[in-house]
């Protein structure tokens, strides 16, 4: 059973955000020859590196000042200064970003002062630009951390104020591929830009013959210095951050700026190109106009499919705004838009857009939430009936759990490759993104519509279907004579109460199953059917045949061989067939029986008759698909997985058809019915009636035994009294079985005496205890696998015996360390005597190494000393051979 | 260039790091060995994580516990369900709960928030087991997590257990110990003199179902498993552990400490085992039967391991032909894993040329040194620069490591094997041997390498 957790007031359940240092180092990765160091404990940088490395598929090196307990108490200055020096040696950067973490901020580290001190102490390093960034993890999310770093860069780098004609372009977090797109577009408009940051190469580098551990792309410090003299700043972001780098350049140096939204979706891209045309004084190039037309064409092509989409959009605020607008433009309804950041602007930015679509589609409810977590997003996806999610790969657990497809965009993408190359900017990126969204909607439709329509509209009655089949059944008559059947049934312990002295054997040759019953966990032996879950060992047909021969010799009253699992006999028909053929060739008289869920019976009934199967047991728990739907989780039939009522209907119709076919051919059919209280118990008399009508021989109403981990784990159990009452009641309709033992798939013997355990792994001979005297050894081992320890360092010894040509582990013995440190070593005399006392009964000592003094002592006592590094077993054998030779 | 010269002169080796690097010499023993088991060098770009990480690795697989991270959001965000520990029942542990401390909490303290959080969880779900992970800043801002846990445990009569894991208080190994302490504080309350014949499995986290594989092996040889630490475990299964008659310890680095405590206070002896590689798996299963004094199980183990080994032998042998003579580099978390990998490579006819660990101990490195051929480079707490330098120098064909090292290997044109907590295929047992060989083969012999060598 799984606990369903709902969203909590006082806890963030499954964070939909990361911390500030993550954003800060991401921005720093867009600076040329820049290395970053996190001032804090080691884990922060390691976790961030892991997160980035899996998304970008690039080596991500971020240093840490590796604060320890001491640094936390007395301040981490020494660590940081040393760390800066070390990373300069290793990476030779021109720029270093020093970002603080929760810990550094909490203990009040003044990194600005420390950096000054570093310059003072290291005169050769003044040409390295070191930028302090205060980015306490608790101060905001990666979204804020990213802008804090950009702000720190423009405000800390020494600027050159000479005016020039270049244009600053500052972007919020975009992918390396989108960065490359922007750079191409600026070239197209012949704009000379300073792009901050520039992630294009550093987080999506090319493979090169020689590797440079400090990537060489990114915005150069010289360019950054020129930002103060630029004629204009274009700020691509859906919102103005609290600390705006563009705002700073304006206030400080009078560089005018315009912020426009990220160019995602038709309207935003149009505005972007119009603005570029205005700034550059150049008309929009033809190829861009062409691309616009192609995007529009794509929008039209996809629009009808998009109308089915009900999307949950989540992630960083900027991402949510852009994606929401793109969705709205294309008629994909955003039923929920959510960010983990605190972002009060979010609602204002997208409400109007969503409202418009909601009105057109007559959709009443949608949600815009900020400062939220994935648990809440999951609940929104359910309550708002989403059929699509758009966001980073952290939504994959919801995708898996609720079976809602996820279009992956944003950061991080951990379960797919190519996160660094995902596009959404420009007409091309928007089209790319839109195609993925539409295809997710389409994929769902294409794979689901058959089943959905069948479930909704197919109402034809089971009986009609039966009539049809009746017409088709060839009446070939009984395959067994009446006398034959009487004899076989008399000696079959599962069919005849009087046959208890006859033994039967179940051969577990059928591992797979094609249906999932709610009372069964296939991993375990299922006590509910004579087709149990997994037995101790599945046999191949050949092994099964060998086993049969052995058992037959030892249990002469063996009269019945059954195939009963551990899966379904007919879901493994090839194995079942081969087994029966082999045995039949060897023994003409043995009775074959088989139990099955009946799903494949119509297909194999005739073949079973041909193989000489005279008795078939079908577990049939309902003759009403409505009731069956509660019992069967799914049914795999002809390559399709059926669920709910359609699953039960498919199963039932095949069971009924199959049974008819068998009865026609004179096969004795037994019906097992598992009594499920509150589900089918009242329905059982009706099942028995139906079975009587078909012509089955006996029904076996069985108690339900709950299996741990199954859906019915906690369902109520009918008492023996209730079961017997049912049996007596149904006994008036037809013959009832009163003696079922619900045996295992590998059951052997009479019902009273399951011999299976005795015969398991059959063919293995019991070895008898030897009488020869054993040798005993003390082994020094750290790993427990090898003789890999110094004798002087043991605190315990593994004691082994060597007998009958095999080493055998006996026990572990503790001893005081012979040599626990130099000051104690003088008392070695006493210690070695102590050890010898502990291992006095041993013939030898084996260790990786051993000192001369203890070696002599042991030799004096007649104890063999072997110094070797080897697998323990091999070493013991080696030592024994020495003693025995 | 010889390794010594690189270590002394190459800019990729920091002075402070020189002692952490060992070059195996002819004639074996280099005397004092190398430095290890100390704090990472600031600015060196260590691959290590933190104390909290170590604690969470060990405890998180407990499936029905509430794992609550008391701290700012990052710690919970970066560790949410990233490891491949599987469950057969409850899946609460796949959530990441955080008190999500903010600026005001740093100023006024987070105790109130923590108390409210625990109370809410208790009142809504009444779990039997709650772990509260204390991260870097909670001690610094003066939160008394232990007191909160004690008070609320008494109030609700349940187990609310503090895990002392501020990131700066050591390294990952410290975290393992803190986790073991947390486990002891739970199971210590359920000590029993009545023992059943059966074992606890320690130090397996059911990555990719490995615990299930091992449990099945033990079932096949007739050995009863009482409890497991901590793969696919639950409150009920953990508190049954004190009745076991033997502990078997798989990941020695993380769990020997727990085994020793259980031996002292619960009278449960332990043996170390390994299920990596055919030989280790074979001798471990036989040893377990022997340690239980169960001759029948021992016979079964011998027969079982023989037949399983036979099953995979041919296929492994065929893959091996593709791999003989290739060179491996290893960079993993602990010594236990590195040692077993060196052996596994050897059994495939491959030579290990670079080997390092994040948290290996002195005796781990001694074993490593005695295992590898001369001229092998051994590193403790290596950084990307050193890995790069030595993998190139030693011409490694494949690196076995964690997620962070993977892109580095690729950039250097070196194949890669994921031997980390995120993998999705088992590497333990006989099945694992086959998976391992397949993975090595499919990476090392992928056609892509033909093109980059042009």
What is the total count of domains within chain A?
4
Which residues does chain B have within 8 Å of residue A19's beta carbon, measured at their own beta carbons? 72-74, 77
pLDDT digits (tens, 9 = 90+) for A105-152: 999 999 999 999 999 999 999 999 999 999 999 999 999 999 999 999
B249 touches A at CB < 8 Å: yes
Q: Are residues A709 and A578 in the same domain?
A: yes
Q: Are residues A107 and A251 in the same domain?
A: yes
Q: Are residues A530 and A427 in the same domain?
A: no
Query: Does A497 have pLDDT greater than 80?
Result: no
Q: What is the CATH number of the domain that holds A195?
A: 3.40.50.1980
Q: Are residues A696 and A781 in the same domain?
A: no
Is residue A553 situated within a structural domain?
Answer: yes
Q: Are residues A255 and A298 in the same domain?
A: no
For domain B3-35+324-423, the CATH class is alpha beta
Q: Are residues A341 and A241 in the same domain?
A: no
Which residues does chain A have within 8 Å of residue B383's beta carbon, measured at their own beta carbons? 90
- Tell me the average pLDDT across A641-666: 88
Which residues does chain B have within 8 Å of residue A214's beta carbon, measured at their own beta carbons? none
Which residues does chain B have within 8 Å of residue A42's beta carbon, measured at their own beta carbons? 40, 46, 48-50, 167-168, 171
Three-state secondary structure string covering A493-560: CCCCHHHCCCEEEEECCECCCCEEECCCCCCCCCCCCCCCCCCCCCCCHHHHHHHHHHHHHHCCCEEE
CA distance from start to end of chain A: 62
Residues ≥6 apart with Cβ < 8 Å to A19: A102, A135, A137, A138, A141, A142, A145, B72, B73, B74, B77
For domain B51-187, the CATH class is alpha beta
Query: Does A375 have pLDDT greater than 90?
Result: yes
Mutation target vs A (from B29, B48, B66, B77; most A CBs, 10 A cutoff) = B77
Q: Cβ separation of B97 and A12 shorter than 8 Å? A: yes
Q: Pick A653 or A27 by higher pLDDT.
A: A27
Q: Are residues A623 and A661 in the same domain?
A: yes
Q: Which residue has the tokens 């707490």?
A: B381
Query: Does B251 have pLDDT greater than 80?
Result: no
pLDDT of residue A531: 42
Query: Which of B42, B89, B169 lies nearest to residue A69, judging by beta carbons?
Result: B169
Give how far Cα A123 sits from Cα of A157, A426, A881, B43, B168, Å: 19, 47, 70, 19, 31
pLDDT digits (tens, 9 = 90+) for A602-634: 888 888 888 888 889 999 999 988 899 889 988
Alpha helices in A702-826 (DSSP H): 720-731, 756-759, 822-825
Q: Cβ separation of B290 and A46 shorter than 8 Å? A: no
Query: Does B315 have pLDDT greater than 80?
Result: yes
In whole angstroms, give the CA distance from residue A119 to residue A128: 9
Q: What φ, ψ does residue A812 adopt, rounded to 5°?
A: -110, 140
Tokens of A603: 């297909």
Q: Which residue has the tokens 């991270």?
A: B69
Q: Are residues A477 and A414 in the same domain?
A: no
Which residues does chain B have within 8 Å of residue A62's beta carbon, measured at their own beta carbons? 45
In whole angstroms, give the CA distance from residue A313 to residue A337: 5
Residues ≥6 apart with Cβ < 8 Å to B314: none
pLDDT of residue A883: 87
Q: Pick B450 or A789 by higher pLDDT.
A: B450
Tokens of B262: 């259980």
Q: Please tell me the distance in Å from A103's CA to the nearest CA on chain B.
A: 6
pLDDT grade for A763, boundaries at 50, 70 and 90: very low
Q: Are residues A718 and A816 in the same domain?
A: no
In whole angstroms, give the CA distance from residue A182 to residue A174: 10
Q: What is the DSSP letter of A34?
A: E
Percent of chain B whose pLDDT exceeds 70:
98
pLDDT of residue A328: 98
pLDDT of residue B131: 98
Q: At what angle do helices A426-457 and A286-306 cross, to 10 degrees?
A: 10
pLDDT grade for B275, boundaries at 50, 70 and 90: very high
Q: Are residues A553 and A489 in the same domain?
A: yes
Q: Pick A782 or A498 by higher pLDDT.
A: A782
Which residues does chain B have within 8 Å of residue A767's beta carbon, measured at their own beta carbons? 299
pLDDT digits (tens, 9 = 90+) for A293-316: 999 999 999 999 999 999 999 999
Pick from A91, A281, A53: which is nearest to B404 by CA? A53
B275 touches A at CB < 8 Å: no
Among the ranges given (A447-461, A641-655, B233-247, B347-361), the one the predictor scored with the smallest mean pLDDT = A447-461
Query: Which of B49, B101, B363 lies nearest to residue A47, judging by beta carbons?
Result: B49
**CATH code reported for the domain at B199-307:** 3.40.50.1980
Mutation target vs A (from B94, B140, B165, B167; most A CBs, 10 A cutoff) = B167
Tokens of A517: 């019953």
Which residues does chain B have within 8 Å of residue A11's beta carbon, measured at their own beta carbons? 68, 97-100, 117, 120-121
pLDDT of residue A762: 40
- DSSP per residue, B213-280: HHHHHHHHTT--EEEEEETTB-HHHHHTGGG-SEEEESSHHHHHHHHHHHHHHH---EEE---SSHHH
Is residue A267 situated within a structural domain?
Answer: no
pLDDT digits (tens, 9 = 90+) for B322-340: 999 999 999 999 998 999 9
Among the ranges given (A186-195, A200-209, A597-606, A758-767), the one the predictor scored with the smallest mean pLDDT = A758-767
Q: Cβ separation of B168 and A785 shorter than 8 Å? A: no
In whole angstroms, give the CA distance from residue B169 to residue A103: 12
**By CA distance, what is B423's nearest residue in A?**
A415
**Cβ neighbours of A814 (radius 10 Å):** 11
Pick from A118, A122, A141: which is nearest to A131 by CA? A118
User: Structural domain boundaries of chain B?
Assistant: 3-35+324-423, 51-187, 199-307
- The answer to whether residues B49 and A66 touch, using CB atoms and an 8 Å cutoff, is no
pLDDT of residue A771: 43
Instruction: State the pTM of this model.
Output: 0.77
Query: Does B40 have pLDDT greater than 90?
Result: yes
Which residues does chain A have within 8 Å of residue B283's beta carbon, measured at their own beta carbons? 785, 871-873
In whole angstroms, give the CA distance from residue A222 to residue A634: 65
In whole angstroms, give the CA distance from residue B355 to residue B20: 12
Is residue A241 situated within a structural domain?
Answer: yes
Q: Which contiguous run of DSSP H or E holds residue B132?
A: strand B129-134
**Dihedral in degrees, nearest 10, Cα atoms A411, A416, A420, A421:** -120
B222 touches A at CB < 8 Å: no
Q: What φ, ψ does residue A700 adopt, rounded to 5°?
A: -120, 100
Is residue A313 situated within a structural domain?
Answer: yes
For the ranges A34-48, A454-468, A756-770, the one whose mean pLDDT is highest = A34-48
Is the bond leading into B123 cis (omega within 30 degrees of zero)? no
Q: Are residues A222 and A249 in the same domain?
A: yes
Q: Cβ separation of A103 and B140 shorter than 8 Å? A: yes
Is residue A454 situated within a structural domain?
Answer: no
Average pLDDT, chain B: 93
Q: Pick A463 or A794 by higher pLDDT.
A: A794
Burial class (CB within 10 angstroms; exposed 0-12, middle 13-18, buried 19+) of A815: middle
Is residue A274 situated within a structural domain?
Answer: no
Q: CA-based diameter of chain B, in Å?
A: 70
pLDDT digits (tens, 9 = 90+) for A385-440: 999 999 999 999 999 999 999 999 999 999 999 999 999 999 999 999 999 999 99
Tokens of A813: 């013995």
- Tell me the average pLDDT across A573-590: 87
Identify the domain boundary among A416, A449, A482.
A449
Tokens of A650: 């498919």
Q: Pick A817 or A242 by higher pLDDT.
A: A242
Is residue A759 situated within a structural domain?
Answer: no
Is residue A456 situated within a structural domain?
Answer: no
Which residues does chain B have within 8 Å of residue A207's beta carbon, measured at their own beta carbons? 410-411, 413, 452
Among the ranges given (A387-396, A466-475, B11-20, B270-279), the one the predictor scored with the smallest mean pLDDT = A466-475
- Indicate if the alpha-carbon torsion angle B69, B75, B81, B84 is positive or negative: negative
Q: Please tell me the distance in Å from A69's CA to the nearest CA on chain B.
A: 5
Residues ≥6 apart with Cβ < 8 Å to A858: A836, A845, A865
Q: Please tell me the distance in Å from A62's CA to the nearest CA on chain B.
A: 6
Which residues does chain A have within 8 Å of residue B219's beta carbon, measured at their own beta carbons? 536
B446 touches A at CB < 8 Å: no
**By CA distance, what is B217's nearest residue in A?**
A536
Among the ranges given (A362-366, A436-440, A879-883), the one the predictor scored with the smallest mean pLDDT = A879-883
Query: Which of A54, A709, A784 lies nearest to residue B273, judging by beta carbons?
Result: A784
Q: Are residues A240 and A144 in the same domain?
A: yes
Average pLDDT, chain A: 87
Q: Cβ separation of B73 and A82 shorter than 8 Å? A: no
pLDDT of residue A739: 65
Query: Does B296 have pLDDT greater than 60?
Result: yes
Give how far Cα A874 sits from Cα of A366, A515, A803, A866, Å: 70, 49, 14, 12
Q: Give the side-chain half-sphere CA count within 13 A for A349.
A: 25
- Tell me the average pLDDT across B140-156: 95
Which residues does chain B have within 8 Å of residue A782's beta carbon, measured at their own beta carbons? 272, 363, 367
Chain B (47-106) residues lying within 8 Å, Cβ to Cβ, of chain A: 47-53, 64, 68, 71-82, 88-92, 94-103, 105-106
Percent of chain A whose pLDDT exceeds 90:
56
For A534-544, b where at least 16 C-beta lie within 10 A, e where not — what string?
Answer: bbbebbebebb
pLDDT of residue A712: 86
Q: Cβ separation of A53 and B406 shorter than 8 Å? A: yes
Tokens of A389: 């999610």
Mutation target vs A (from B168, B274, B362, B366; most A CBs, 10 A cutoff) = B168
Structural domain of A360? 286-449
Percent of chain B whose pLDDT exceeds 90:
85
Which residues does chain B have within 8 Å of residue A793's beta carbon, measured at their own beta carbons? 363
What residues are paired with A39 via a beta bridge?
Answer: A100
Query: Which of A5, A86, A102 lies nearest to residue B41, judging by beta carbons?
Result: A86
What residues are paired with B43 via a beta bridge?
Answer: none
Q: What is the DSSP letter of B62?
A: B
Rg (CA), chain B: 23
């Amino acid at each position: 059973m799984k606990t369903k957790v709902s969203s909590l007031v006082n806890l963030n359940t499954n964070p939909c955000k990361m911390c500030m240092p993550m954003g800060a180092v991401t921005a720093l990765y867009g600076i040329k020859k820049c290395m970053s160091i996190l001032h804090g404990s080691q884990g922060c940088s390691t976790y961030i590196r892991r997160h980035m490395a899996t998304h970008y598929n690039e080596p991500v090196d971020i240093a840490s000042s590796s604060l320890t307990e001491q640094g936390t108490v007395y301040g981490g200055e020494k660590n940081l200064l040393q760390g800066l020096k070390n990373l300069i040696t290793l990476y030779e950067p021109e720029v270093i970003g020093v970002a603080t973490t929760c810990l550094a901020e909490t203990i009040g580290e003044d990194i600005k002062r420390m950096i000054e001190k570093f310059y003072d102490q290291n005169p050769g390093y003044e040409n390295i630009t070191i930028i302090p960034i205060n980015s306490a993890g608790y101060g905001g999310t990666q979204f804020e951390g990213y802008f804090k770093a950009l702000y720190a860069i423009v405000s800390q780098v020494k600027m050159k104020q000479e005016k020039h004609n270049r244009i600053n372009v500052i972007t919020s977090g975009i992918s390396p591929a989108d960065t490359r797109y922007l750079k191409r577009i600026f070239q197209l408009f012949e704009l000379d830009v300073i792009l901050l940051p520039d992630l294009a190469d550093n987080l999506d580098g090319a493979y090169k013959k020689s590797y440079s551990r400090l990537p060489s792309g990114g915005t150069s410090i010289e360019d950054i210095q020129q930002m103060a003299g630029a004629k204009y700043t274009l700020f691509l972001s859906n919102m103005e951050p609290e600390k705006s780098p563009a705002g700073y350049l304006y206030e400080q140096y009078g560089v005018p700026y315009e912020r426009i939204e990220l160019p995602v979706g038709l309207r935003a891209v149009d505005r972007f190109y119009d603005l570029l045309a205005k700034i550059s004084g150049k008309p929009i190039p033809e190829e861009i106009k062409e691309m616009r037309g192609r995007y529009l064409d794509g929008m039209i092509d996809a629009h009808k499919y998009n109308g089915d989409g009900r999307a949950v959009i989540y992630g960083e605020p900027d991402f949510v705004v852009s994606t929401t607008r793109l969705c709205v433009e294309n008629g994909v309804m955003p039923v929920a838009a959510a960010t983990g950041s605190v972002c009060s602007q979010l609602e204002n930015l997208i409400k109007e857009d969503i409202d418009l679509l909601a009105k057109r589609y007559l959709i009443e409810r949608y949600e815009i939430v900020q400062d939220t977590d994935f648990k809440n997003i999951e609940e929104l996806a359910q309550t708002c009936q989403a059929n699509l999610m758009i966001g980073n790969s952290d939504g994959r657990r919801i995708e898996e759990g609720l079976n809602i497809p996820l279009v992956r965009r944003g950061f991080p993408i951990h379960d797919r490759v190519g996160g660094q190359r995902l596009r959404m900017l420009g007409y091309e990126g928007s089209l790319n993104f839109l195609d993925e969204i539409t295809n997710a909607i389409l994929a769902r439709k294409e794979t689901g519509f058959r089943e959905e329509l069948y479930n909704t509209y197919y109402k034809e009655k089971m009986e009609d279907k039966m009539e049809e089949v009746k017409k088709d059944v060839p009446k070939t008559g009984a395959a067994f004579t009446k006398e034959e059947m009487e004899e076989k049934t008399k000696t079959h312990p599962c069919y005849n109460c009087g046959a208890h002295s006859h033994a039967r054997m179940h051969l577990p040759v059928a591992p797979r199953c094609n249906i999932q019953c709610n009372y069964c966990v296939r991993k375990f032996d299922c006590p509910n059917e004579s087709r149990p879950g997994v037995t101790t060992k599945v046999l191949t047909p050949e092994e099964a045949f060998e086993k049969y021969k052995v058992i037959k010799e030892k249990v002469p009253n063996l009269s019945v061989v059954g195939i009963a699992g551990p899966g379904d006999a007919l879901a493994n028909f090839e194995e079942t067939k081969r087994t029966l053929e082999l045995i039949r060739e060897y023994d003409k008289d043995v009775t074959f029986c088989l139990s099955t869920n009946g799903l494949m019976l119509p297909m194999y009934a005739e073949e079973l008759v041909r193989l000489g199967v005279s008795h078939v047991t079908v577990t049939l728990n309902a003759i009403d698909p409505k009731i069956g739907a509660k019992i069967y989780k799914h049914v795999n039939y002809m390559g399709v997985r059926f669920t709910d009522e359609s699953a039960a209907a498919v199963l039932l119709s095949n069971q009924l058809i199959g049974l008819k076919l068998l009865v026609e051919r004179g096969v004795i059919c037994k019906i097992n019915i598992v009594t499920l209280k509150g589900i089918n118990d009242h329905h059982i008399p009706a099942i028995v009636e139906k079975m009587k009508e078909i012509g089955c021989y006996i029904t076996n109403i069985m108690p339900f035994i709950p299996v741990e981990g199954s859906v019915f784990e906690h369902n109520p159990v009918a008492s023996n009294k209730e079961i017997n009452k049912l049996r007596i009641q149904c006994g008036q309709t037809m013959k009832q079985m009163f003696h079922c033992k619900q045996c295992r798939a590998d059951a052997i013997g009479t019902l009273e005496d399951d011999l299976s355990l005795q015969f398991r792994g059959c063919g293995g001979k019991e070895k008898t205890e030897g009488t020869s005297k054993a040798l005993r050894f003390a082994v020094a081992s750290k790993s427990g696998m090898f003789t890999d320890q110094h004798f002087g360092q043991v605190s315990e010894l593994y004691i082994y015996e060597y007998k009958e040509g095999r080493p055998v582990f006996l026990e572990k013995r503790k001893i005081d360390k012979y040599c626990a440190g130099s000051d104690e070593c003088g008392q070695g005399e006493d210690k070695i005597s102590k050890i010898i006392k502990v291992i006095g009964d041993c013939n030898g000592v084996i260790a990786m190494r051993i000192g001369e003094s203890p070696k002599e002592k042991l030799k004096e006592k007649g104890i063999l000393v072997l110094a070797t590094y080897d697998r323990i077993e091999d070493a013991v054998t080696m030592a024994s051979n020495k003693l025995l030779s | 260039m010889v390794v010594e010269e690189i270590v002394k002169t190459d800019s990729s080796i920091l002075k402070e790091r020189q002692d952490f690097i060992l070059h195996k010499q002819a004639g074996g023993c280099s005397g004092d060995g190398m430095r290890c088991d100390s704090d990472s060098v600031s600015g060196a770009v260590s691959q290590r994580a933190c104390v909290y990480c170590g604690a969470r690795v060990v405890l998180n697989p407990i499936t029905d516990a509430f794992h609550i991270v008391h701290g700012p959001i990052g710690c919970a965000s970066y560790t949410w369900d990233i490891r491949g520990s599987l469950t057969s029942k409850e899946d609460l542990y796949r959530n990441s709960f955080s008190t999500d401390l903010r600026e005001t909490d740093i100023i006024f303290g987070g105790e109130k928030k923590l108390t409210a959080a625990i109370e809410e969880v208790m009142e809504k779900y009444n779990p039997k087991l709650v772990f509260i992970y204390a991260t870097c800043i909670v001690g610094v801002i003066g939160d008394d997590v232990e007191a909160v846990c004690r008070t609320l445990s008494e109030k609700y009569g349940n187990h609310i257990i503090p895990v002392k894991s501020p990131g700066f208080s050591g390294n990952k190994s410290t975290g393992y110990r803190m986790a073991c302490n947390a486990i002891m504080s739970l199971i210590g309350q359920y000590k029993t003199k009545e023992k059943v014949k059966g074992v606890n499995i320690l130090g397996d986290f059911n990555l990719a179902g490995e615990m299930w594989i091992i449990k099945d092996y033990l079932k096949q040889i007739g050995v009863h498993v009482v409890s497991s630490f901590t793969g696919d475990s639950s409150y009920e299964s953990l508190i049954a552990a004190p009745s076991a008659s033997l502990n078997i310890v798989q990941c020695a680095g993380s769990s020997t400490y727990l085994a020793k405590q259980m031996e002292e206070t619960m009278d449960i002896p332990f043996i170390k085992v390994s299920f990596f590689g055919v030989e280790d798996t074979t001798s471990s299963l036989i040893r377990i039967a022997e340690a239980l004094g169960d001759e029948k199980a021992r016979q079964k183990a011998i027969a079982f391991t023989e037949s399983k080994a036979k099953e995979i032998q041919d296929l492994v042998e065929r893959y091996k032909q593709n791999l003989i003579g290739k060179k491996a580099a290893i960079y993993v978390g602990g010594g236990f894993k590195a040692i077993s990998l060196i052996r596994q490579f050897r059994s495939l006819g491959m030579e290990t040329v670079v080997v390092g660990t994040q948290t290996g101990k002195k005796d781990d490195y001694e074993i490593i040194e005695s295992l590898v051929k001369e001229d092998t480079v051994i590193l403790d707490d290596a950084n990307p620069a050193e890995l790069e330098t030595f993998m190139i120098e030693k011409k490694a064909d494949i690196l076995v490591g964690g997620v962070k090292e993977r892109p580095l290997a690729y950039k250097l044109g070196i194949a890669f094997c994921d031997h980390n907590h995120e993998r999705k295929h088992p590497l333990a047992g006989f099945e694992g041997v086959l998976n391992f060989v397949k993975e090595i083969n499919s990476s090392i012999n992928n056609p892509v390498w033909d093109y980059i060598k042009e």
